Amino acid sequence: MSAKQVGRRIAAGLLLGLLAMPAARAAGYISGSFSVVGAFDCGGCIAPGNDFIVSRLTLLAAASPAMASAGTGVFAGLGGSPVTATRAIDLNDPPLQAGQFDVDGFTLTILGVQNIMRRRFVCAGGVCQDSLRVRVWGEVTGNDYRPGGITGIWTGQGSCLGRGGVCTGQPSASWSASFSATRIPEPTGLGLAGLGLLLLGAAARRGWRANATRAASG
């Protein structure tokens, strides 16, 4: 095979992979970030007499009302939009269920958690407080965009009137979170690009062998 033929095959292989990219981008990728502040609900788990509020929880049930702040990227128009938690975030490892949030046409699915930080229940001056912080990751879909990855930090804060290490009044709790979208590599485009590279390598090997055969016979 001549050097010109090898070059043509290399170009064809690379073009095959690159042609897939515009199609992959046609639907648009989810990018940007936004924050949420909301109320907190863990059913009957917080009550007077408890020696914790949020720090020992293994299931984060974020209740309405929760509100998104103005974000960036595709989330730029979310300011003031309500956020609905359709499934609680499970802190087990691995989670027994995926957490889920819906906001203005986007769905955030929380598939895993890491770096859980529990600040123990402390009482001082007649007030008791604790907190819980966890890093989450998963997937975001919606609004005719291609699915993307999502990472975030969820923080819960609890407080109550108390003494002696227990709440003497009804506890209250709130939560906040910040989320950032990350692009998921397009498997079709990557696969075709890889195929192009394989064709490139195969063509180069055949060309080298043909040249070596001609040199030996000459």
Q: Note the pLDDT tens digit of each residue in 103-136.
A: 999 999 999 999 999 999 999 999 999 999 999 9
Q: Note the pLDDT tens digit of each residue in 128-168.
A: 999 999 999 999 999 889 999 999 999 999 999 999 899 99
User: Lowest mean pLDDT: which of 102-111, 178-187, 206-215?
Assistant: 206-215
Domain ranges of the chain: 30-188
Q: What is the pLDDT of residue 59?
A: 85
Provide the whole-model pTM. 0.70
SS3 for the chain, per residue? CCHHHHHHHHHHHHHHHHHHHHHHHCCCECCCEEEEEEECCCHHHCCCCCCCCCCCCCEECCCCCEEECCCCHHHCCCCCCECEEEECEECCCCCCCCEEEEECCEEEEEEEEEEEEEEEEEEECCEEEEEEEEEEEEEEEECCEEEEEEEEEEEEEEEEEEECCEECCCCEEEEEEEEEEECCCCHHHHHHHHHHHHHHHHHHHHHHHHHHHHHHHC
